[in-house]
């Protein structure tokens, strides 16, 4: 199978240089710093396999892949502008006129009804927002799919377009286990966070029969570690600590971003990387106070020993051990 690298117009969020997309592996990787911009993309090349050139030529039969994110699924008919017919014979002036008319009407019909037109507008908004958020194609498609359902059920009627688009995208992120916060989505849509949250609940009710689980803490940690440049061992350590503790009740009702931030902070301390609270707080979009509070709770309730087993303290020990002692590895 042929292996193709397609370069795209996007630039790396880290170094600003161009990004090479490797569609074979389904990843978008920055060519200079190696940052993985997107992963787990669908392979967007042909979905067939050709053993030789002849077979390949025979099998090339389609244009762009079918997509839910265009209002007609990308399956529109385009009438060509050539002056010859399929046999290569020149068309008569009469036929040319007729084709010109057909072209005109085809264009009109394509987005004929008002529903079609508004669907088309919203779907293009969804595409735009997805681009802004660097979302994998699967998420965009999922969002488009839910929006179609909403449009069909007329739920989206007389509601903010950006709000509905944002809610669809946010839901798609959750379903596809892609970590994008409500904050990020609302930034990308220029819509109020509360509006999107409200619509999200509505969308959930209208389109989802099954429970959509919240993102795992591990996802939050990975994302956080990705946004700040940090030693991978910090991530491993953070995830290790998290997996030992995460079923603890001390996190009940606490915002996951803050919990993840504090695991990353503690891990960066333990591993000697020493990432300042401010930096982690900024990347996680929580405050330093929250990181401190979560860290205190973790270190007050658990002893982190040298071999990195985490054990619960009993009541008397809880107050005795302070932060720094814990950081000195028990």
Partner DNA sequence: ATGGTTTTTACTGCGTC
Partner DNA sequence: GACGCGGTAAAAACCAT
Q: Which residues bind DNA (CB under 7 A)?
A: 193-194, 197, 252-255, 258, 274, 276-278, 285-287, 289-290, 292-293, 295-296, 322-324
Q: Which is nearer to DNA, 154 or 249 (CB)?
A: 249
The neighbouring-strand residues paired with 27 are 22
Q: Which is nearer to DNA, 130 or 181 (CB)?
A: 181
Q: Which is nearer to DNA, 100 or 201 (CB)?
A: 201
Shortest Å distance, C-beta 241 to DNA: 16
Q: Which is nearer to DNA, 101 or 322 (CB)?
A: 322
Largest CA distance in the chain: 97
Question: What distance in Å separates the CA atoms of residue 315 and residue 276, rounded to the nearest whole number?
Answer: 31
Shortest Å distance, C-beta 79 to DNA: 50
Q: Which is nearer to DNA, 29 or 261 (CB)?
A: 261
User: Is the separation of the CB atoms in 133 and 169 below 8 Å?
Assistant: yes
Q: Which is nearer to DNA, 22 or 297 (CB)?
A: 297
DSSP letter for 159, please.
S
Residues in the chain, total: 330
User: Is the separation of the CB atoms in 152 and 127 below 8 Å?
Assistant: no
Give the chain's end-to-end CA distance (angstroms, integer).
55
Shortest Å distance, C-beta 122 to DNA: 25
- What is the secondary structure of 2-19 as a DSSP string? ---EEEEEEE-TTT--EE
Shortest Å distance, C-beta 329 to DNA: 15
Shortest Å distance, C-beta 202 to DNA: 14
Q: Provide CB contacts within 8 A for 165, sequence distance 6+.
A: 122, 125, 126, 129, 143, 147, 189
User: Is the separation of the CB atoms in 158 and 177 below 8 Å?
Assistant: no
Shortest Å distance, C-beta 209 to DNA: 20
């Amino acid at each position: 199978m042929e292996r193709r690298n397609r370069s795209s117009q996007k630039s790396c969020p880290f170094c600003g240089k161009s990004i090479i997309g490797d569609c074979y592996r389904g990843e978008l990787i920055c060519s200079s710093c190696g940052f993985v911009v997107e992963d787990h993309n669908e392979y967007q090349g042909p979905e067939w396999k050709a053993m030789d050139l002849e077979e390949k030529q025979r099998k090339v039969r389609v244009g762009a892949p079918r997509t839910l994110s265009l209002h007609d699924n990308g399956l529109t008919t385009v009438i060509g502008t050539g002056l010859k017919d399929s046999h290569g014979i020149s068309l008569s002036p009469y036929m040319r006129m007729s084709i010109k008319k057909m072209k005109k009407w085809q264009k009109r019909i394509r987005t004929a009804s008002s529903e079609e037109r508004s669907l088309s507008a919203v779907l293009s908004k969804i595409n735009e927002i997805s681009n802004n958020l660097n979302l994998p194609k699967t998420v965009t498609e999922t969002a488009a799919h839910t929006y179609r359902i909403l449009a069909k059920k007329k739920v989206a009627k007389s509601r903010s377009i950006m709000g509905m688009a944002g809610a669809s995208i946010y839901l798609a992120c959750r379903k596809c286990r892609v970590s994008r916060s409500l904050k990020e989505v609302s930034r990308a849509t220029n819509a109020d966070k509360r509006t999107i949250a409200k619509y999200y609940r509505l969308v959930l009710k209208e389109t989802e029969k099954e429970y959509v689980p919240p993102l795992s803490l591990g996802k939050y940690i990975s994302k956080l570690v990705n946004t700040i440049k940090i030693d991978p061992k910090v991530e491993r350590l953070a995830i290790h600590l998290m997996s030992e503790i995460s079923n603890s009740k001390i996190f009940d009702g606490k915002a996951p971003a803050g919990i993840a931030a504090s695991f990353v902070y503690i891990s960066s301390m333990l591993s000697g990387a020493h990432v300042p609270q401010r930096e982690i707080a900024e990347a996680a979009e929580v405050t330093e106070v929250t990181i401190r509070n979560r860290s205190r709770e973790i270190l007050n309730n658990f002893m982190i020993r040298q071999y990195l087993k985490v054990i619960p303290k009993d009541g008397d020990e809880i107050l005795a051990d302070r932060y720094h002692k814990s950081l000195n590895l028990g």
